Every structure is written in structure tokens, then in C-alpha cells.
């Protein structure tokens, strides 16, 4: 899961190949070892007790095993059920050796782990289903489970903790394109009862055996989490933590308008402080002594300085750690054997992060096989850590000759299967919460649990009530005298999930003056029917207005088809139109109400971007044209070949998305990009030789986190392939540029043949 370059590959496209050492980068011929051999310890397989001795954890905390081999192998993700049991995906087929052999064989499993004697460790394993191809996502739903494999999303019935019948494909586009490191994962239940994923722009609901699939923001790479209010957090290999500043889809309510608004913030820096030398990093050879300008490792300590394998974050929402850790983020760094702590602050609609431990990390290990890949809030108030305990954490697509040699020299290429651990991280002096079987509790008891101090328990109670289709009477009664703010928030969303929320349930929260309650109620009001929302115009208009709540207020008012609501929206925009996300939120709500707003507004509020968006909104959603229907002959054939390359060999989809809109912190948009359209020379040069930012796209500066190496040095990519890729991108989505022919690519390759290998273009090269 390490990054491909010194940062995760971004730029216009990503290069991937089918061969183990095609991770080598053009021009990177000097791969001499950087770390002195005498400083590199051996990497034998350790027992759990031996591994525990390799950990250094922050004072006041303990790490202890919950489950280990032979009870579990290569755990990568889990879901807790109402009984407090773990349902765990085992990624057994991942990198069985340095060449990744047999990766296409379905040897993955999903197992149920439980603690039958209440001593805090799992003692029973039930294999629920076997023969899965690289399982990476799981959600427990009424009657069974959903799980995602390398390609598809499935539902399988459950009976007596065993799969009942064959899995049924419910989304054959769950994980399109890319390789194992760039595939959809997650199925995390958001507070709004949708399931969210990373490496994906799709969210799901599964109700009454029916799947609802909806567009959402593209997020992250591996692992996903949320805070108490429902904001989503994610990351990618080289960026430790990214947070969504607004709740999901707040700005996506108007499909007729393309606003291209970023809602994410990078939180904190990406510095890491391993507990050992780190020679086993894919680009560790990059050092001044080898002729490079950059130093991947600190030349004094021989430890990596910036994240390269970040994954599996969790926002702590439990009740077992000291209060100062509430809403803190813990992040896995699997290639450096550590867990990072970042304090997260939300203020005035913005997210920021700090590093309270400064020059050390929360948890480190000197065991090179320790591979933390995911973290979870647990029903006992602690955090559970999933450790694949595997020698290799770099997929064959990206492994360099350097890393292969490092892997073989310490026998990290085996054993391929047979190991894996799940640990508990807990505060040393605070007792754990007793895990209760929520499936046996009454509706009234579960309603109280919605105010539990442990977020994992609140989440499970909410889900159990909804799955049970509980009578909402007890919830409505509890809403009158909630135990705390979080109790109110979960009561609102549980009623929403039951289809029982109405306007009267939101009035108290809207009038509370509490920022968190106000924007929760405003956001929840969007799930009401039009007639119910109209009953809240005055409440919404009078609710607390500050930078955090104003976008929700604008979205709610915009969605209400009444003169009073539209007049209130005009006033809000006039006073607060410059507050971030307010204009976008208003447009998001002004779908069918766009003309009504214009009539009420009478040009009182005018702003260039807003007016353009409003014009698009009035036209309504335009019929989407399949670009391939506009093409014929060789142009169409080239387009179709390029489409395959985009999602497979070149793996462009991994950083730019299937819709060409780009992925936050990974790759810029290709749709309607001035780097894509017009004269094809620029895009062909970039495809051949690569690109290093910053660059300006359509007048906006984009600074990629890393660089894009060219495809021209890859023997598996021919001139015709470059031409097909360029043709596909230039004719897809809203792009309508002509075909790029093989002879054009050949001519540009010949004209640029004097460029040194690996010499990437910069924006300045195209200004000359």
C-alpha cells in the first residue's frame, strides 16, 4: 500500500503495469542501498507475545491481542454486529510472494469472531463464507450481509451464522478498474443511514432487499471513518488525514449544475516517526548519495520522514480514553509500522489538525511484519487495530527492483498465508465497557442507548432499531427529554431511517442555538417531503446562523417552494453570500425552484458564479449523451480501446474517477480540461514523459501531491495505446475533441526523444 512515487501518483494519469518490477521509474537507475546493512535487523516471524515486546505505545495506554492466528488470517476490514461480534474480511490472496502469484484465485474468506466467555479476547471462529476474490468491504444488513470483492458488490443470506445459498451480485460496478490497491472499500454506515466508501463516488442504501445507488463525493484510498456529527474522514498513501468539511452530498442536490467545489481539508502534516530504520520502503533508494535531489529517508536516522503507506483512519468516539482524545484521529501507516495521532478541531466550518506528540508517534513497532491496515471504535470503548502481519505491503504492480531485493533479503516474501492479528488499544487505568447483546434489548432500552457515551454503541443501537423496523413511539418520546446532544442527533437520524421523521421532531433542535443540533436538524430536514419542509420555513430562517450552519440553512431554504422560503434565501445570500459554501449550497437546493427564486430575487442578489449556476439550474438536467454514439469507424474503435486502457493497464480511473471529474488530493479533472482539449500536442507529451505540478487548469491552479511519470518508458505501452488513451479522454464526458492518431504520437515521441529518461514536463515548459 505504499505510494508509487515520493508521493501518491497524481497528475493527469497513472501508469500501472502487469509486471512485478514495472514499479521502476524511468531514470531511476541508481538503486543502491541507503541504510547500512549492519543497522537493518532481521525480520523473522514473531509470535504474538514476541510482537507485543516490539511495541512502544504512548504512556497511559496498553495494546493487547483480541484475536490472532490460527483464529484469523490477514484481516483487513470488519463490521460489528448487534451482539458485539466481529465479522472480518480476510485478504488471504494479497501478495502471496514477491511476484503476487495466484492473486486471481478466490481464497479470501469472511469469518465471525466472538468472545464467548467474556474475558475480552475472541475464542470462537465461524467461517461464514469462503472462496472470495480479495474481499475488502462488509456491512451487516437484515437477513444477511453485503460484501465487496475485487470487482462486485454481493448480498448473501445468513442462516445460523453460515451463508445460506449463493451470493447474489447487486452491483457489478462496485470496484471498476485499477488493481488491489486502488479498489473500492468501506461500506461504512454514515449517521444519515447511507453506506459510504473510499476509492469510490457511490453511496448505498439496502432496504427491503433493494439496493439504492447514488452519486457522492470521491473519497480516499483505503479506510474510512466519521465523527459524531457525520463528517467523513479518509486519506491516501501519502496524506495522513483528509476531512469533509460539510456533511455528505450537501452540495450535490442539483444535477443540472457542475460547480466543481472542493469540500475537503487536509488535516495536519504528513510527518511520521518510526520506531526503527525503514529500508523496506519502495523509494528508499532516493537519496542524495544516489544522485537524487530528494531524500526519502532521513540521512541521519535512516527512517522515513513522511507518510507513504497511510491508511485505515478512525476518529475516536469511545468512552474509555481520556476526554482529551475525543474526536482525535488515529491513522495507520502500514509501511512504517506505526499508528499516528492527530488532534482534529472543527471551528467556523473549517477543519484543522495538530500533532500533540510532536516528534514521536502514538504507537510504533520494530517488527517489520507489523502491518496495521485499519482501526475501529469498538463496543467496549477501546480501539481495535487490524494487523495483516505480512511481510509484503506493496502490490506487484508498483514494486521496484530495490524493494524486491529488500523483501527477498529478509525473507519477507513468506509465508504467504497463516498470520494475522487484531489488537485492542485501551487506556491503562480505565475499565472497559461490558459488551452487551443489543439484539436482545427492547426498543425502549435501545432508545436510551442512542445517548450512550460510546459512539460504537450509539451506532449499533441506531442500526438495530432501523433494521428491526421498530415502533417509533419510544423514540419520539425520548426526543422530548434527551440525555444529551448526541442523543438528540441519533434520535433524529433513527427516526429518519425508520421513515418516521416529521417537521415537529426538528423544531426544538432548530431553536436550540446549539451549532451541532442546528446543522443536524437542517440537514435532516432535506429528507422530509416538500409539504413537511414547508412547515419549517420560519424555524429555519430564525435558526442560528454562523459559518458552520449557514450552508445548511441555504440548502434547506432553497429546497422549499414558497415565497417565504425564497425571500428568506435572498436575505441570507445578501447578508452571507460570501461565506464559504453558501452560494453552492443554495444552488444545490435550487433545482425545480430556480425560476421561483429568480422571480422573488428580482436581481437583488447578483454574483457572477452564482448567476451562471442559476442559469444552468433553470435549464434543468440535460440529457446525457453517450459519447461513443457520436463516433464512427476508427475513431470509435480507438475510443473503445482507450476506455479499456483507462480502467485497466493505465489505471487512470484510480486518480481521476470514472466521470473524469478528478479525485480530491489525487488527480485533477479531465472533463472539459484545457490540458485535454484543443491541440493534442500537450496531452501527448504529458502521456509520454510525465508531468510535475503545479499546473493551471481552466484558470485555476492545481498543485498535485506528487508527480505523474510518463508512459513512454513503459515497454508495455505502445504509441497506439497512447493515441487511444488520448482519444478516449478527449472524446469522453463533455469533451468533444478529435481523434489522436498513432502517427501523431510517433512524431511527438521522435521530436522529444532527446529528453532524458524520467525528465517530466512542468507548466513552464508549455509557456515557452
Lookup: cell for 642: 482507450
Residue with cell 437520524: 493
All 3 cell numbers of residue 401?
527492483
What integer pLDDT is reported at residue 26 of this predicted model?
A: 66
Question: Between these two residues, 709 and 215, which has the higher pLDDT value?
Answer: 215
Nearest to 89 by CA among 422, 391, 339, 363: 422
Residue 3 has pLDDT above 60, yes or no: no
Residue with cell 536516522: 301
614 Cβ contact list (under 8 Å, min separation 6)? 587, 590, 594, 597, 598
Query: Average pLDDT for residues 730-749, to the nearest whole number?
Result: 93
- Residue of 365, 343, 364, 363 whose CA lies nearest to 355: 343
758: confidence class by pLDDT, cuts 50, 70, 90: low
Residue 705 makes CB contacts below 8 A (sequence gap 6+) with 7, 8, 10, 236, 238, 239, 665, 666
Q: What is the Cα–Cα distance from 83 to 472, expressed in whole angstroms? A: 22
How many CB atoms sit inside 10 A of residue 753's CB? 9
| pLDDT the model gives residue 706 | 61
> Which domains, and CATH codes, for the chain?
31-427 (2.120.10.30), 438-619 (1.25.10.10), 627-766 (1.10.760.10)
At residue 608, the pLDDT reads 94
Q: Is the pLDDT of residue 340 over 70?
A: yes
Structure confidence at residue 601 as a pLDDT band (50, 70, 90): very high
- Cα dihedral sign, 504-505-506-507: positive
Q: What is the pLDDT of residues 105-142, one digit of tens each?
A: 999 999 999 999 999 999 999 999 999 999 999 999 99
φ and ψ of 49, to 5 deg: -60, -40
What percentage of the chain's residues is helix, strand, coil (to nearest 5)?
A: 30, 25, 50
Question: What's the pLDDT at 28?
Answer: 85
CB 244 within 8 A of CB 232: yes
- List pLDDT tens digits, range 516-551: 999 999 999 999 999 999 999 999 999 999 999 999
Return mean pLDDT, the chain: 92
Greater confidence (78 vs 647) lies with 78
Question: Is a pLDDT exceeding 80 seen at residue 709?
Answer: no
pLDDT at 10: 32
pLDDT in tens, 618-636: 998 877 788 888 899 999 9
Strands 108-114 and 86-90: antiparallel
Question: 428-480: per-residue pLDDT in tens?
Answer: 999 999 999 999 999 999 999 999 999 999 999 999 999 999 999 999 999 99
Question: Smallest Cα–Cα separation from 341: which of 388, 421, 393, 272?
Answer: 272
pLDDT of residue 744: 95
Residue pair 217/194 in contact by the 8 Å Cβ criterion: no
Q: Please report which confidence band the pLDDT of residue 6 belongs to, taking 50, 70 and 90 as the band edges.
A: very low
Residue 394's pLDDT band (cuts 50, 70, 90): very high
Q: β-pairing, 338-347 with 329-333?
A: antiparallel
211 vs 665, more confident: 211
Are 439 and 464 spatial neighbours (Cβ–Cβ below 8 Å)? yes
Assessment of whether the complete model's pTM goes beyond 0.85: yes
> Is residue 12 predicted with pLDDT exceeding 60?
no
Q: 708, 726, 624, 661: which is closest to 200 by C-alpha? A: 661
pLDDT (0 to 100) of residue 280: 97
pLDDT at 31 over 80: yes
Angle between helices 563-576 and 594-601 (to 10 degrees): 70
Amino acid at each position: 500500500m505504499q505510494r508509487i512515487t515520493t508521493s501518491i501518483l497524481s497528475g493527469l494519469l497513472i501508469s500501472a503495469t502487469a509486471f512485478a518490477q514495472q514499479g521502476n521509474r524511468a531514470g531511476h537507475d541508481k538503486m543502491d542501498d541507503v541504510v547500512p546493512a549492519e543497522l537493518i535487523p532481521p525480520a523473522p516471524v514473531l509470535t504474538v507475545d514476541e510482537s507485543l515486546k516490539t511495541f512502544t505505545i504512548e504512556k497511559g495506554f496498553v495494546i493487547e491481542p483480541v484475536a490472532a492466528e490460527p483464529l484469523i488470517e490477514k484481516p483487513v476490514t470488519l463490521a460489528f454486529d448487534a451482539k458485539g461480534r466481529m465479522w472480518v474480511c480476510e485478504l488471504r490472496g494479497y501478495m502471496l510472494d514477491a511476484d503476487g502469484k495466484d492473486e486471481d484465485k478466490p481464497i479470501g474468506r469472511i469469518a465471525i469472531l466472538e468472545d464467548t466467555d467474556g474475558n475480552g479476547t475472541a475464542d470462537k471462529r465461524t467461517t461464514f463464507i469462503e472462496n472470495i476474490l480479495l474481499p475488502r468491504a462488509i456491512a451487516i444488513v437484515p437477513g444477511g450481509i453485503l460484501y465487496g470483492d475485487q470487482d462486485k458488490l454481493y448480498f448473501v443470506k445468513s442462516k445460523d451464522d453460515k451463508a445460506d445459498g449463493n451470493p447474489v451480485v447487486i452491483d457489478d460496478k462496485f470496484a471498476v478498474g485499477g488493481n488491489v490497491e486502488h479498489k473500492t472499500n468501506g461500506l461504512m454506515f454514515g449517521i444519515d443511514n447511507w453506506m459510504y466508501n473510499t476509492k469510490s463516488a457511490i453511496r448505498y442504501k439496502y432496504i427491503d432487499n433493494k439496493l439504492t445507488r447514488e452519486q457522492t463525493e470521491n473519497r480516499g484510498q483505503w479506510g474510512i471513518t466519521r465523527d459524531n456529527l457525520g463528517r467523513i474522514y479518509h486519506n491516501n498513501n501519502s496524506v495522513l488525514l483528509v476531512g469533509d468539511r460539510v456533511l455528505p452530498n450537501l452540495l450535490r442536490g442539483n444535477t443540472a449544475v457542475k460547480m466543481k467545489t472542493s469540500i475537503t481539508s487536509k488535516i495536519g502534516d504528513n510527518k511520521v516517526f518510526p520506531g526503527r530504520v525503514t529500508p523496506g520502503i519502495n523509494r528508499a533508494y532516493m537519496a542524495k548519495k544516489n544522485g537524487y535531489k530528494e531524500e526519502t529517508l532521513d540521512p541521519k536516522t535512516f527512517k522515513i520522514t513522511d507518510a507513504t503507506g497511510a491508511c485505515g483512519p478512525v476518529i475516536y468516539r469511545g468512552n474509555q480514553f481520556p476526554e482529551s482524545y475525543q474526536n482525535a484521529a488515529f491513522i495507520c501507516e502500514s509501511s512504517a509500522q506505526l499508528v499516528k495521532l492527530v488532534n482534529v478541531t472543527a471551528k467556523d466550518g473549517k477543519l484543522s489538525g495538530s500533532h500533540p506528540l510532536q516528534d514521536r508517534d502514538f504507537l510504533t513497532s520494530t517488527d517489520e511484519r507489523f502491518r496495521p491496515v485499519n482501526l475501529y471504535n469498538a463496543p467496549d470503548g477501546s480501539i481495535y487495530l487490524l494487523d495483516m502481519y505480512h511481510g509484503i505491503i506493496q502490490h506487484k504492480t508498483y514494486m521496484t527492483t530495490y524493494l524486491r531485493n529488500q523483501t527477498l533479503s529478509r525473507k519477507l516474501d513468506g509465508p504467504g498465508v497463516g498470520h494475522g492479528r487484531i489488537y485492542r488499544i485501551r487506556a491503562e487505568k480505565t475499565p472497559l465497557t461490558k459488551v452487551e447483546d443489543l439484539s436482545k434489548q427492547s426498543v425502549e432500552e435501545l432508545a436510551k442507548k442512542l445517548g450512550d457515551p460510546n459512539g460504537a454503541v450509539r451506532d449499533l443501537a441506531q442500526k438495530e432499531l432501523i433494521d428491526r423496523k421498530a415502533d417509533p413511539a419510544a423514540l419520539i418520546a425520548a426526543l422530548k427529554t434527551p440525555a444529551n446532544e448526541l442523543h438528540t442527533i441519533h434520535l433524529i437520524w433513527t427516526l429518519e431511517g425508520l421513515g418516521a421523521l416529521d417537521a415537529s421532531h426538528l423544531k426544538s433542535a432548530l431553536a436550540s442555538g446549539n451549532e451541532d443540533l442546528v446543522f443536524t436538524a437542517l440537514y435532516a430536514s432535506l429528507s422530509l417531503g416538500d409539504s413537511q419542509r414547508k412547515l419549517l420555513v420560519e424555524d429555519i430562517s430564525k435558526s442560528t446562523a454562523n459559518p458552520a450552519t449557514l450552508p445548511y440553512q441555504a440548502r434547506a431554504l432553497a429546497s422549499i417552494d414558497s415565497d417565504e422560503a425564497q425571500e428568506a434565501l435572498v436575505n441570507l445570500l445578501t447578508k452571507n453570500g460570501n461565506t464559504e459554501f453558501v452560494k453552492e449550497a443554495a444552488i444545490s437546493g435550487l433545482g425545480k425552484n430556480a425560476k421561483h427564486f429568480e422571480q422573488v430575487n428580482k436581481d437583488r442578489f447578483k454574483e457572477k458564479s452564482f448567476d451562471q449556476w442559476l442559469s444552468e439550474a433553470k435549464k434543468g438536467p440535460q440529457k446525457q449523451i453517450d459519447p461513443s454514439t457520436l463516433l464512427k469507424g476508427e475513431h470509435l474503435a480507438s475510443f473503445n480501446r482507450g476506455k479499456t486502457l483507462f480502467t485497466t493497464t493505465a489505471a487512470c480511473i484510480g486518480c481521476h474517477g470514472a466521470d473524469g471529474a478528478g479525485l480530491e488530493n489525487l488527480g485533477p479533472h479531465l472533463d472539459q480540461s484545457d490540458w485535454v482539449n484543443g491541440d493534442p500536442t500537450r496531452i501527448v507529451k504529458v502521456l509520454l514523459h510525465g508531468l510535475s505540478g503545479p499546473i493551471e487548469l481552466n484558470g485555476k491552479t492545481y498543485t498535485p501531491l506528487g508527480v505523474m511519470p510518463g508512459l513512454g518508458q513503459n515497454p508495455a505501452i505502445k504509441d497506439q495505446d497512447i493515441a487511444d488513451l488520448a482519444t478516449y479522454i478527449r472524446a469522453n464526458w463533455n469533451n468533444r475533441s478529435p481523434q489522436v492518431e498513432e502517427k501523431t504520437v510517433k512524431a511527438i515521441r521522435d521530436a522529444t526523444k532527446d529528453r532524458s529518461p524520467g525528465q517530466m514536463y512542468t507548466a513552464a515548459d508549455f509557456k515557452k
